[in-house]
Structure 1
Amino acid sequence: MTFPNLTTPRLRLTEVEQDHSSALFTIFSNPEVVKYYGMDPMHELAQAEKIIEHFKSTYEIKKGIRWAITLNDGNHFVGTIGLNNLALGMKKAEVGFEIHPDFWRSGITSEALQKVLDYSFDELGLHRMGAVTFPANRASIGLLKKNGFVEEGKLRSYLFQNGHSHDALMFSILHTECNLND
């Protein structure tokens, strides 16, 4: 099974590898990045290495795909984007992403998201893409809405982080609503 590498004008989306562990740790250990992620900040490199193994095993059993987001000019790792809860038979998945704060508000996440949506709907034949976020995460909510996602409602006590349960908002976009390249 060959990993689906994707490209955009500025980005390469490739398999997350162990040589990305240090850069991934830098991102996931930043409290500002994981503030609305549904996990506590990482405290040691081994946690990043373990999550990369999780990405690989989830892909191997066809339950998810996680791409490293790297810049075309220099191969700089800036974050990841991926499909969670992938259910090919049900034609649905949920998208998740995080990038280094140096690249927030640069359009990189939106560019990667559009490519992942195109791939998911065109190549995987998915019909629905969901996204879950904290209600206070205005940046992600804005990004999702800008890219055509519709808010469906609140999931009560859906996320657990920092020793507490938190509500989440559910968003989705359907294949028929997505601006696909014709």
Structure 2
Amino acid sequence: MTFPELETRRLKLMEITEGDVEAYFNVMSLDRVTKYYGMESFKKKEQAAEIIRAFRTGYESKRSMRWGIILKDTGTFIGTAGLNNLQIGQKKAEIGFEIHPDYWRSGITSEAANAVIRYAFEELELFRIGAVTFLENHSSYGLLEKIGFKKEGILRGYIFQNGVSNDTYVYSLLRAEWQETVDAPVLNDSRI
């Protein structure tokens, strides 16, 4: 089963392999990255290797898909984006992403997320993509709103991290809503 590769203007989204252990560890060992992630920062490279193996297992069982985000111009692995809780028969999944702080606020996360969303709606023919984010994670839900997700409500005590059950927002984007934005005329946007 060949893992699909996606490409954008600045990025290649590729399967995460054992060769990416160190680069993935370098992202997920940072407290700034995992602060609102739902898991503790990695302390050992073996943790990164274990998650990468889980990514492959999730893909093979058709329960998830996770791409490594690679900068085209340098070949640098800077984070991941993908679909969690994938239920192809129910036509739904949840999106997730994280990138190294050196690349925050550069539009890269939006670019990667939009490629994953396009794949999910066009290739997997999903109907709904959900997202869950901590109430305090303004950057994450700001990005979700920017790319068309709608807030549905609050999930109380939904993510346990650092000894605390945290409330989260739940967001969603439906294929018909996404299709409207794809079909809309493109306005001149100097950030692109």
1:67 is aligned to 2:77: no
Instruction: Name the structure 1 match of 2:152.
Output: 152
Instruction: Name the structure 1 match of 2:182.
Output: 180
Instruction: Name the structure 1 match of 2:108.
Output: 108
Displacement after TM superposition at 1:105 (Å) = 0.3
Displacement after TM superposition at 1:78 (Å) = 0.6
Does structure 2 retain, via aligned residues, the 8 Å contact 1:118–1:180? no
Q: How does 1:164-179 map to 2 (within 5 A)?
A: 164-178=164-178, 179=181
Displacement after TM superposition at 1:181 (Å) = 6.2
Q: Distance in 2 between matches of 1:8 and 1:141?
A: 22
Instruction: Name the structure 1 match of 2:13.
Output: 13
Q: Distance in 1 between matches of 2:39 and 2:113?
A: 21
Aligned-pair identity in percent equals 52
Q: Distance in 1 between matches of 2:28 and 2:49?
A: 12
Letter of the 1:159 partner, please give it: I
Letter of the 1:154 partner, please give it: I
Secondary structure of the residue that 1:145 maps to in structure 2?
helix
1:80 is aligned to 2:80: yes
TM-score (normalised: structure 2): 0.93
Instruction: Name the structure 2 match of 1:121.
Output: 121
Q: Distance in 1 between matches of 2:77 and 2:154?
A: 33
In structure 1, stretches of 5+ residues that fail to align are none
In structure 2, stretches of 5+ residues that fail to align are 185-192
1:163 is aligned to 2:125: no
Decide whether aligned partners of structure 1 residues 181 and 99 sit closer, same or farther in structure 2, where only a CA change above 3 A counts: farther
- How many residue pairs get matched? 182
Q: Distance in 1 between matches of 2:183 and 2:72?
A: 21
Displacement after TM superposition at 1:74 (Å) = 1.6
Does structure 2 retain, via aligned residues, the 8 Å contact 1:93–1:130? yes
Secondary structure of the residue that 1:180 maps to in structure 2?
helix
Displacement after TM superposition at 1:91 (Å) = 0.3
Instruction: Name the structure 2 match of 1:4.
Output: 4
Aligned-residue RMSD, C-alpha: 1.0
